[in-house]
Each structure stands twice: as C-alpha cells, then as structure tokens.
Amino acid sequence: MQQVETDMDRDREPDSLQITGDEKTGQDTDTKEEKAPKTGRRTPKAIIAYTAAIAVLALLIAAFRSNLISIRIGRLYIGRDSGSIGVQSMPKLNQLESALEDFYFDKPDPDTSIESVARAYVDSYGDPYTVYYTPEEFADFMQSSSGVSYGIGVIVGKTDDGALLVSRVISGGPAERAGIEAGDLITEVDGEPVAGEDIQDTVERIKGDEGTDVALTILRNGQTQKIPVTRGQYDIPLVSYRVLDGNIGYLYLAEFDGSAKQQFLDAYRELTQEDAVSSLVIDLRGNPGGLLDVDTDILDELLPDGTIVSVRDKAGHEEVTTGSNPDQIDIPLAVLVNAQTASASELFSAAVQDYKVRVIVGTQTFGKGIAQTIRQFPDGSGIKYTVEKYFTPAGRDIHQVGVMPDIVVETADGGTEDSNPETDTQLAAAIDYLESKS
C-alpha cells in the first residue's frame, strides 16, 4: 500500500520560547567594549540592532492579533495555523495544567499524561479507524501485521478455575516442538501460578525474546508436568484448505496480512494444479481485511486483466491498480461472506462480483471502503490514520454500504477453518451452486 507522508513535522516552529536577557541595554553582557563618544549619531551596528528589534516586535504584534501566539506568564507559544486544533487547544491545556499544578494533591506520571493527551487528540477526530499507539502498542501492531510472531505459538483461553486452556497449537511453532498439545491446561508460568491473574498479564509472561526459555507447568489427563519451551519465531497460519466431497476445493482465509499472500497462493495452486479440484469455495467470513497490496496481489491471480481497485485521496487524486498476471481462475468459484467480512475482504468480494464470472454467497458485508496508512514518530509511538477511499473495478463505493451477495443465505454461525457442509448452511448453498455448474 502506498505510504503517505504528511508535513506535520516539517518546518515546525518551536512549541515554546522562553524570553530572557538584558532587555534594558540590548547589549551583550559578556563582552566589554570601549564606549563611543556621544556624538548624537548611531553606529551602523546600533542601527541594524534597532531595525531588527522593530521588525521582530512588528511580527509578534501581527501574530498576536492573528491568534497565532498566546502569552502566559513569560511563555510564548507559537503555532503554524490559528485554525489548527493544536493551537486552539493550547490555552485550555494551559488553564488545566495551571489549576492542577496549583491544587492537585498528587503528582501524575508525566509520560502517562502525555500519552493520554495524544490518544484523546486522535480520538477527537471521531474516526474509529484512526488510532494512536504508544511505543509498545505500535511495536505489537507492526508485529501482528507482519504475519510473524515471537513467542511459543499457542492460542489460549481462561477456564473457570483460573487455568489457561490451550485451544490451539500453531503448527511448526516452539510449543509444538516442545510437546505442548491442544487441551493442555497451563497452571504455572516459571513457577508462578496463573490463577487469579488477568489473561493478558499471563500471556505477557509467556511471551518474550527469541531464544529465551519459559517453563510451563501443565495439567494433562490428570497428570502435572513441567515443560520448558524455547521462545522463537513462527508464522501465523492465515490459510487452511482441504478437498470436500464432490471434488470441491475449500480455502479459508483469515485475513490479508503479512504472509497471507504466499500462504493463499500455495494453497490455491495446490488445489487447482492438474485439475485437482473441479470447483472452489473461498471462505472470507469473519475476515476483517488487512493490507491492500496483499489483497490486490491475490486478486491478480484470479481475475482477468483489467482494473482491480482505484483509490482516491483527500485532494481527489486517483490511483488505479490493474492486473499484470495473464492467468485467471478457470473453474467455478463461490466466495462466502457475512457481516464480519470487512475492508480488504469486501474489496475482494466486490471485485469478483464486478467481473461477473463468479458468485458471492452469504449475507451483506460490513461496509468499510476506506484505507489507512501508518506513521511512526521518533519516540516509537505512531498513528494509523485514514487517507483514502477505495472503489471496486466497476467504480462502486462500498463504504458504509457493504457488498450484497448474489445468493443470500442467513446463518447463525460465521466461517471457520473447520466449516462442516452438513451444518453450515452458507457453505452448503455454495456447494449446491458449484455442483449445478459442473
């Protein structure tokens, strides 16, 4: 996805300027010079200093009248634009700070206060997709978007008695190599009980730097044992696939992040090579979206040559992405969607629908047709913010509208990698359609 850089930090004036010095004489008090005789005429140096002082004073008066500065007890706050939220909020923040400094009985943590102000400022835009991240949150966000994680590779939940239940072990991850199994109950981490602890705090104790060890005490089949696990890198599986009865391929895609492209293409090619399957179901139910370029790269593999997506920014500039891969899917295809199918997965569904060669099955999608970019600041914090709206190959705006399936089928359950055609009404409807096309 195109990274958009704003001019937020370019040519920025200092936020505050402390005015000090010998304002009576205007002289450099560290240097002694022999005074010139009083002749009634100013020296060239004095004329230059006098002119400069008049110019600075004129600029300050003009800025003050234009609300570009505010003065508080000897401090001068300078902003670039009197209409900016930062400039307009400064007097209010100064008033709050003054009142709290004078009367508040405790002393807050400055770092926490600064982070809270930054988060509130971003939240004030009212866009649920524009988000401020602390340095720690930004690092976690970048890691999760990469499709690669560091830790032991398990998915856990809390039981009623306070233990951690391992619901899934990531294939090829450190936990699997150490012998952890789905269904194990983690009761201690490095000898410390997990009962009574918030699940996030326990997970943080299990996670750690690559190459370090964590000792897990687990309960399996009534037997307690300690298993050391060496933390390491592992790929987050975003794709699962299998062949259903009737020679129909089923491919589940969790989201369009990090390694999703390669995982999808590997699964897709294995299912479709040498007529391995006669038709294909792609399940995007519950898929929240992800990276736009991952989405378009996958679509390029499936669609005929032509427009895949167009995006427009605030200024109305448009960028069109077209396919470059001459191949396209040549077997019947059904795409499953529901109300939790959002963003990039909606574009995927709409693009398949626009080319009128495949069918969408399920319920109306979420309705997010805008794209975000990210920016990191020098202290490690960052923001994700909305910069573009995207349009389908046929020019449809799906934001706050969503994609309406060609075949509407209601169901109480969303998609999972283990969807069963016998109980999953949407998957059963897709299979019925594909069998009618065979």
Confirm whether 354 is a catalytic residue. Answer: yes
Confirm whether 343 is a catalytic residue. Answer: yes
Which among 355, 363, 259, 373 has a CA at the least distance from the CA of 299? 355
299-328 pLDDT, tens per residue? 999 999 999 999 999 999 999 999 988 888
Which among 297, 356, 347 has a CA at the least distance from the CA of 323? 297
pTM of the entire structure? 0.66
Contact 336, 287 (CB under 8 A): no
Is the domain of 251 the same as that of 344?
Answer: yes
Nearest-angstrom CA–CA distance, 125 and 322: 33
* Tally of domains in the chain: 3
Report, as an integer, the average pLDDT of 421-432.
90
CATH of the domain at 198: 2.30.42.10
Residue in 283, 368, 384, 419 annotated catalytic: 368
Give a yes or no: residue 85 inside a domain. yes
Nearest-angstrom CA–CA distance, 372 and 1: 9
Is the domain of 296 the same as that of 432?
Answer: yes
Residue in 354, 381, 419, 424 annotated catalytic: 354
Classified as helix, coil or strand, 432 is helix
Between 156 and 37, where is the model more confident? 156
- With the CA atoms of 53, 54, 55 and 58 taken in that order, what torsion angle do they form, in degrees rounded to the nearest 10? 120
Structure tokens at 168: 């899934």
Please give the residue range of the domain that contains residue 170: 148-235
Is the domain of 267 the same as that of 406?
Answer: yes
Residue finishing a domain among 188, 215, 235: 235
Predicted confidence at residue 436, as pLDDT, reads: 92
Is the domain of 213 the same as that of 264?
Answer: no
2-35 pLDDT, tens per residue? 333 333 332 333 232 222 233 333 333 333 333 3
Between 103 and 8, where is the model more confident? 103
User: Which pLDDT band holds residue 76 (cuts at 50, 70, 90)?
Assistant: very low
Give a yes or no: residue 196 inside a domain. yes
Report, as an integer, the average pLDDT of 82-104.
78
Is the domain of 55 the same as that of 152?
Answer: no
Which among 305, 303, 313 has a CA at the least distance from the CA of 335? 303
Q: Would you report the helix, strand and coil content of the chain in percent, each value rounded to 5?
A: 30, 25, 45
273-300 pLDDT, tens per residue? 877 899 999 999 988 898 899 999 999 9
Is the domain of 405 the same as that of 293?
Answer: yes
Is the domain of 209 the same as that of 161?
Answer: yes
Predicted confidence at residue 2, as pLDDT, reads: 37
Confirm whether 368 is a catalytic residue. Answer: yes
Residue in 240, 343, 345, 381 annotated catalytic: 343
